[in-house]
Amino acid sequence: METFYMYINGKWVQSTNTNVIDVINPSNGEKIAIIPRGTQEDVDSAVKAAKSAFHKEDWRKVKAFERGEILFAIADKIKAHRDELAELESLDVGKPLSQAYADVDAAVRYFRFYGGAADKLMGDTIPIEDGVLDYVVHEPVGVTAHIIPWNYPLQIISRSVAAALATGNTVVVKSAEDTPMTAMRLTEFFDELRLPAGVFNHVTGYGHEAGAALASHPLINHVTFTGSVNTGISVGEAAMANVVPSTLELGGKSPNIVFADCDVESALEGVIQSIIQNAGQTCSAGSRLLVEESFKQVFVERIVKRFNSLTIGPGIQDKDIGPILNEKQFRHIMRMIELAKEEGDILTGGNPVTVKDYERGFYMHPTVIDGIDRDSRLAQEEIFGPVLTVFTFKDIEEALELANSTDYGLVTGIWTKNINTAHYLASRIDSGQIFINNYGAGGGVQMPFGGYKKSGFGREKGWAALYNYTVMKNVAVKYS
């Protein structure tokens, strides 16, 4: 078991009240670390340190390409500690080890992508009239806040912090109290680089305490948050009270739309992996299967058969499905399963699983639910577990209607060999990302990611994310 500290203004510190939070391994319920229970005072210290660092020449004089070199150095450190970080992520989150390795590799790519972008965010000139030179520059916003969820801590820290630093900001990270281990290791990497004090800060604690204090702090200039809709609304309101922009990624109820003319094996693999990844605890999980009516029986039978063959166990053993994060989340899923028993048919799963020697972990059999109404809570709300709901459609218009029938719009998968069908749906589905005959595209580091409707607003990943952390300034020079 390890004891960790917060990192504020270039120093490792305990919380001002010395209270701590236990970090639990979801695979077996054992305590694996202790972190500080950060307070409003701790957050205030971190934000003030970041604000001071932003205005000091030590950081301002760092050239754009040199910021890129800092990010490349972090990427190299992550790669050099690949095995260690993957094990930490697997132990901390519970996800299968191979998936944890994929997260580590994605983190490397984020830092390299934004390291390469640091000196390539160009401005523009605007023709006005003879004697006027008008130009636009993109300047850093200042202090950026990064409130990290528990399900993909290393990836989500990397994608937002790298973009913020690439553009010259200073940052304050608030890691998830449930899964802080890789965030702590990443913080150590930043400390080893000896950046100017206050450029990178990391606070820990509960969301309703440290997270709320960070989102509402008057010296913050941008807030990035990934999490639930209700918490996202609170974060957005707190930021807006200070007239501060926010980037909110708030989850989804994403469909896979499967037509009878699809490549069956590819579609089968895509649908299954999109819902079992990280035990379904993924904002972009393909939690709704919309399958052409004439093809339903054959395809669903194949899914049920595969679900019944999947292995379940601790993430470190690299089974197909790891544990649910904690008892609270597990009980929520099981309440939704009870609703499914009342409203529809459970084709497979729906039951807890006891794993020998890991009896204190919260495991469950992957579940397929059929026969529910499209307006059911099961069809409309995030379950956040390995639970797939099945619906059918007769034609393309019904498929479109079903795809758009929730308050979310994050990701959609379309499986068909008909290019007309694919592009017609892609142009009309309210979804931030559309995948045709795939789902995820290798992690999508370069692709803008974000949602329609209650899936949030703003875009992370790719080049688009750089604009989250800059403010546009226009300069007009009259000369003679």
Catalytic residues: 249
CA distance 329 to 281: 10
Q: What residues contact residue 289 under an 8 Å CB cut-off, 6+ apart?
A: 255, 256, 258, 271, 300, 303, 388, 389, 390, 391
Using CA atoms, how far apart are residues 471 and 325, in angstroms rounded to an integer? 38
At a CB cut-off of 8 Å and minimum separation 6, what does 15 contact?
6, 36, 37, 38, 39, 42, 204, 205
Tell me which amino acid residue 388 is: L
Cα distance between the two ends of the chain: 70
Nearest-CA neighbor of 354 among 102, 39, 28?
28
CA-CA distance, 388 to 438, in Å (whole number)?
18
How many CB atoms sit inside 10 A of residue 131's CB? 9
DSSP-H helix ranges across 245-326: 264-276, 296-309
Residue 197, both tokens? 């004090």
**Cα separation, 211 vs 209, whole angstroms:** 6
Find the helix or strand (DSSP H, E) in which 478 lies.
strand 470-478
CB-based burial, 253-283: b 16+ in 10 Å, e otherwise: bbbbbbbbebeeeebbebbbebbbbbbbbbb
Q: What is the DSSP letter of 196?
A: P
Is 474 strand, coil or helix? strand
The Cα–Cα gap between 285 and 281 comes to 7
C-alpha distances out from residue 383 to 45, 173, 199, 269, 271, Å: 37, 27, 38, 21, 16
The pair of structure tokens assigned to 214 is 């960070």
Distances (CA, A) of 302 to 268, 270, 273, 294, 369: 8, 13, 14, 15, 14
Q: What residue has token string 């989150």?
A: 93
String of DSSP letters for 319-388: -SB--BS-HHHHHHHHHHHHHHHHHSEEEE--SEE--TT-TTSBEE--EEEES--TTSHHHHS---SSEE
